[in-house]
């Protein structure tokens, strides 16, 4: 039985003070209850702030990105080893905002995936189609391409440290979200694709999150679907009460 996994992507929000208070509220709400896997992913400057606050709770720390090198002359970038040193267990890679606003390719994302895994991090790999791609019935083609490209050169041995997040681009920050049926169809396709790449057992055990305007009022319906194993939460993760309600929905 796959454990539900709810992760909060704080994106480019919070200050040191508000990050501390948000993390404190989430950690207090989750406590040591590990029935749902929970992670928060603050901006780089506040990783250690949040790490100190959530220490001793069941909440894990994640980062929103990395650069695929251990160290070097890469001004402004953050390495996988730095993230591990800051206390991170997870890193989000391939988020649609980085693909579509910053031009990241599947090949570059694949380099990041390899670097993250080599450093001991677990990867939340984001995949998803735009509205135009969905309208043209290209959803499965896009998902297959992003999965093959992002996971190229890997074997099923890495599956225990891999999470896939399906995030329909048209539902991120728009207030829209995929219906439960649309989410299930995409998640089931992703699981079949993983089975083709890595085998049936890695596919069965792979957590697949839904990301795209997840809120307390739709979370339970989405996560009730058999292949929806949690949520990658954006805006609602910035309000502790809303985020904890989504975690609670995962229990139902």
Tell me the pLDDT tens digit for each residue of 101-138. 999 999 999 999 999 999 999 999 999 999 899 999 99
- Please name which of 34, 54, 39, 43 lies closest in space to residue 16, comparing C-alpha atoms: 43
Q: Which residues are catalytic?
A: 95, 167
Express each pLDDT in 36-76 by its tens digit: 999 999 999 999 999 999 999 999 999 999 999 999 999 99
- pLDDT value of residue 138: 96
- pLDDT value of residue 109: 98
- Pairwise CA distance, residues 65 & 56, whole Å: 24
Mean pLDDT of the chain: 96
Burial class (CB in 10 A: 0-12, 13-18, 19+), 2: middle
- pLDDT value of residue 252: 83
**Position 177 pLDDT exceeds 80:** no
- pLDDT value of residue 194: 98
Residue 126 or 172, more confident? 126
Q: Alpha-carbon torsion 232, 234, 238, 240, what sign?
A: negative
- Pairwise CA distance, residues 85 & 49, whole Å: 13
- Please name which of 44, 34, 59, 56 lies closest in space to residue 10, comparing C-alpha atoms: 44
């Amino acid at each position: 039985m796959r454990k539900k996994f709810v992760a909060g992507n704080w994106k480019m929000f919070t200050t040191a003070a508000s990050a501390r208070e948000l993390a404190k509220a989430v950690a207090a709400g989750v406590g040591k209850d590990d029935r749902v896997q929970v992670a928060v992913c603050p901006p780089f400057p506040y990783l250690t702030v949040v790490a100190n606050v959530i220490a001793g709770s069941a909440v894990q720390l994640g980062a929103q990105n990395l650069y695929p090198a251990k160290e070097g002359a890469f001004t402004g970038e953050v390495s996988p080893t730095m993230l591990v040193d800051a206390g991170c267990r997870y890193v989000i890679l391939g988020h649609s905002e980085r693909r579509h606003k910053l031009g990241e390719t599947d090949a570059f994302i694949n380099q990041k995936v390899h670097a993250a895994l080599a450093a001991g991090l677990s990867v939340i790999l984001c995949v998803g189609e735009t509205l135009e791609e969905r309208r043209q019935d290209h959803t499965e083609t896009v998902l297959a391409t992003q999965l093959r490209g992002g996971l190229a050169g890997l074997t099923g041995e890495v599956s225990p440290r891999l999470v896939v997040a399906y995030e329909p681009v048209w539902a991120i920050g728009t207030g829209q979200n995929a219906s439960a049926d649309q989410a299930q169809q995409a998640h089931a396709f992703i699981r079949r694709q993983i089975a083709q790449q890595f085998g049936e057992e890695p596919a069965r055990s792979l957590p697949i999150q839904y990301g795209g305007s997840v809120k307390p009022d739709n979370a339970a319906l989405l996560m009730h679907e058999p292949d929806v194993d949690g949520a990658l939460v954006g805006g609602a993760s910035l309000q502790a009460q809303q985020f904890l309600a989504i975690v609670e929905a995962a229990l139902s």
